[in-house]
Amino acid sequence: MTYDVIVVGGGITGLVSSFYLTLRGKRVLLLEKNPRWGGNIKTYSDGRYTFEEGPQTILANSPAVWDLVRRLNAPVCKANPSSQLRFIYKREKLIPIPLKPWEFFTSPLVGFKAKVKLLKEFFVKPSQKEDESVAEFTIRHFGEEFLKYFIQPFVSGIYAGDSKKLSVRYAFPKLYEIERRYGSLLKAFLKERRVAPKGELISFAGGLSTLIKLLAEKVKEKRLQTEVLSVEKSGNLYKVKTNAGNYYSRKVVLTTPAYITAKLLGKIFPPAKELEKITYPRVAVVSLSFPKIGLRGFGFLNAEGLKILGAIFVSSLFENRCPPEEDCVSVFLCGETQKEVCRLGEGEILKLAKGEIEKVFPQIGEFRFEKVTLWERSIPQYTLGYGKFYKIEEELKKKEPNLFIAGNFFGGSSLAKCIEKGKKLGESL
Ligand SMILES: Cc1cc2nc3c(=O)[nH]c(=O)nc-3n(C[C@H](O)[C@H](O)[C@H](O)COP(=O)(O)OP(=O)(O)OC[C@H]3O[C@@H](n4cnc5c(N)ncnc54)[C@H](O)[C@@H]3O)c2cc1C
């Protein structure tokens, strides 16, 4: 049996590419090593509580997301409009994040000096450097205080990352491009009316796993508990070796994490071994519920004073995630900046998360639901010098034009980017 395409990895990227390939009548086989579809997407649901154990929402800022939703007739839930309201935890207080740059002038988030520095940002020239850390970039534009109280918390929220290690060029390519064009980000904001991507935050009735279920139903040939061991050449075909036998195809799409992709390509393309160097920090997600205290907004990010990265106000974002008389939150811990927390066991992480949430909301009386999910290797870190990994991808394209790397360690790790990538492959292979 020869397939047109074998897709390795049944997370969102693998499912979306298989779905679009199937729509085009291609003979596609999807292989997943785990006993469930979804990869990072994992929704806990018991009838009373619905918690996302991994990603929480999709920022639907790409037409690809809406195309997928429409084709699957997926039951979209848009986040409550109050989700625009986000907070930074600083000096034992939740401070609203300004929605427009000029609101920083009246915000207690940063002090007088930082506000003066903000005005000077209009005169910042584009950097001459090829690459720069997010921290350096921020300090050059806005100063240290903005880094500490605004950007680093965001970097923790998006990548569980360290702004000193992440590359602005590869982790935030839009910012990098905007700086190249305008120099000043504030000037860019005045011209384009935005710097950050716009788009609605969405999920689905029953959580993100609903999307996974709908996608999996549409892919005809698929196998769970089938671990791919290597991809090799066999004449003009690819031989995909698995724990359940060999499969053959004309094209192969790998959506596995970098450290697995490196191994799978070991024989056919040894330079891929370098991909093992891409780091993925440990992250813990703690799901909690408690008697209603009236949470409103998206959630908060910790700038100082807590041993958590932040929390998302789940019950404020979407309906029916917990009983109406309760509020529920997803708390994020560990990541690149809280290595000491990463060393804790599950029980200690739960205790810590509850304690820190009680510091922020002392009125919480008791916890009614609690669950810890550990991601030993969570989100790929697009670190300084990441260009060397893209070069490997370029070399692979030249040597093996029918073998595609589509993991979230290239081209962005957000769900919207994964969907975009999956669709593009599914429509072109
Ligand atoms: C804790 C956490 C929170 C996040 N929050 C958000 C968020 O709120 N919004 C957002 O946009 N993004 C978020 N992300 C990022 C986003 O979830 C991921 O980038 C995305 O889900 C990756 O999808 P993927 O299909 O590319 O990879 P994965 O989901 O990693 O899927 C890869 C699949 O390959 C399988 N596999 C591995 N090895 C083999 C093998 N040898 N053979 C066969 N199969 C194999 C794996 O089991 C897995 O199912 C978050 C990520 C994490 C971890």
Task: Note the ipTM here.
Answer: 0.99
Q: Would you say 4 and 27 are in contact if contact means Cβ atoms under 8 Å apart?
A: yes
Q: How far is the CA of 386 from the centre of ligand 1 (A)?
A: 20
Last residue of a domain, one of 200, 218, 253: 200
Q: Which residues of 112-135 are buried (b: 16+ CB within 10 A; e: fewer)?
A: eebbebbeebeebeebeeebbbbb
Q: Does 196 share its domain with 88?
A: yes
Q: Does 226 share its domain with 254?
A: yes
Q: Given this model, what pLDDT does residue 196 score?
A: 56
Closest CA to 321 of 41, 37, 57, 40: 57
Distance CA 403, CA 412 (A): 19
Alpha helices in 183-235 (DSSP H): 185-192, 209-218
Q: Does 328 share its domain with 310?
A: yes
Query: Which of 41, 42, 252, 256 gets mutated to test ligand 1 (max ligand atoms within 8 A of its CB)?
Result: 256
Q: Does 269 share its domain with 285?
A: no
Q: How far is the CA of 39 from the centre of ligand 1 (A)?
A: 5
Q: Stretch 373-385: mean pLDDT, rounded?
A: 97
Q: Is 157 in the pocket of ligand 1 (CB under 6 A)?
A: no
Mutual orientation of helices 209-218 and 63-72 as an angle, nearest 10°? 70
Instruction: Locate the ligand 1 atom nearest the alpha carbon of residue 13 and give its number.
Output: 25
Q: Is 56 in the pocket of ligand 1 (CB under 6 A)?
A: yes
Instruction: Locate the ligand 1 atom nearest the alpha carbon of residue 31 and give its number.
Output: 43
Report the alpha-carbon angle 283-289-294, nearest 5.
115
Query: Which of 13, 40, 425 gets mutated to test ligand 1 (max ligand atoms within 8 A of its CB)?
Result: 40
Domain that holds residue 70: 2-75+205-277+381-428
Q: Does 298 share its domain with 325?
A: yes
* Beta strand spans in 46-174 (E): 50-52, 58-60, 76-78, 86-90, 93-96
Q: At 197, is the pLDDT very low, low, confident or very high (cuts 50, 70, 90)?
A: low
Q: Is 379 in the pocket of ligand 1 (CB under 6 A)?
A: yes
Report the alpha-carbon angle 133-138-139, nearest 5.
100
Q: How far is the CA of 416 from the centre of ligand 1 (A)?
A: 12
Q: Is 299 in the pocket of ligand 1 (CB under 6 A)?
A: no
Q: How far is the CA of 122 from the centre of ligand 1 (A)?
A: 39
CATH of the domain at 311: 3.90.660.20
Q: Given this model, what pLDDT does residue 194 score?
A: 59
Answer whether residue 195 shows pLDDT above 70.
Answer: no
Q: Does 25 share its domain with 151?
A: no
Q: Given this model, what pLDDT does residue 139 score?
A: 95
Closest CA to 319 of 83, 80, 86, 85: 80
- State the DSSP string of 389-416: HHHHHHHHHHH-TTEEE-STTSS--SHH
Q: Stretch 27-54: mean pLDDT, rounded?
A: 98
Q: Does 146 share its domain with 54?
A: no
Q: What percent of the chain has pLDDT over 70?
A: 99
CATH of the domain at 127: 1.10.3110.10
Q: Does 288 share its domain with 342?
A: yes
Structure tokens at 410: 């290239």
Q: Stretch 318-334: mean pLDDT, rounded?
A: 96
Q: Is 302 in the pocket of ligand 1 (CB under 6 A)?
A: no
Residue 151 carries which DSSP code? I
Look at 391 and 339; give whichever has higher pLDDT. Answer: 391
Q: Does 186 share its domain with 94?
A: yes
Q: Is 254 in the pocket of ligand 1 (CB under 6 A)?
A: no
Q: Whose CA is nearest to atom 36 of ligand 1?
A: 9
pLDDT in tens, 212-223: 999 999 999 999
Q: Does 266 share its domain with 323?
A: no
Answer whether residue 193 shows pLDDT above 70.
Answer: no
Q: How far is the CA of 411 from the centre of ligand 1 (A)?
A: 14
Q: If you count DSSP H runs as helices and E runs as strands, how many of each does the chain have, helices first?
A: 16, 19
Q: Is 134 in the pocket of ligand 1 (CB under 6 A)?
A: no
Last residue of a domain, one of 200, 217, 244: 200
Q: Is 16 in the pocket of ligand 1 (CB under 6 A)?
A: no
Q: Does 65 share its domain with 138?
A: no
Q: At 122, is the pLDDT very low, low, confident or very high (cuts 50, 70, 90)?
A: confident
Distance CA 169, CA 174 (A): 8
Q: Please classify residue 53 by burial: count the beta carbons closer than 10 Å to its beta carbon, then call 0-12 exposed, 13-18 middle and 19+ buried.
A: buried
Q: What percent of the chain has pLDDT over 90?
A: 86
The residue to which tokens 């300090």 are assigned: 139
Q: How many domains does the chain have?
A: 3
Q: At 191, is the pLDDT very low, low, confident or very high (cuts 50, 70, 90)?
A: confident
Q: Is 281 in the pocket of ligand 1 (CB under 6 A)?
A: no
Q: Does 411 share its domain with 336?
A: no
Q: Given this model, what pLDDT does residue 428 score?
A: 96
Q: Whose CA is nearest to atom 19 of ligand 1?
A: 413
Q: Given this model, what pLDDT does residue 365 score?
A: 87
CATH of the domain at 421: 3.50.50.60
Q: Is 57 in the pocket of ligand 1 (CB under 6 A)?
A: yes
Q: At 206, is the pLDDT very low, low, confident or very high (cuts 50, 70, 90)?
A: very high
Last residue of a domain, one of 179, 200, 221: 200
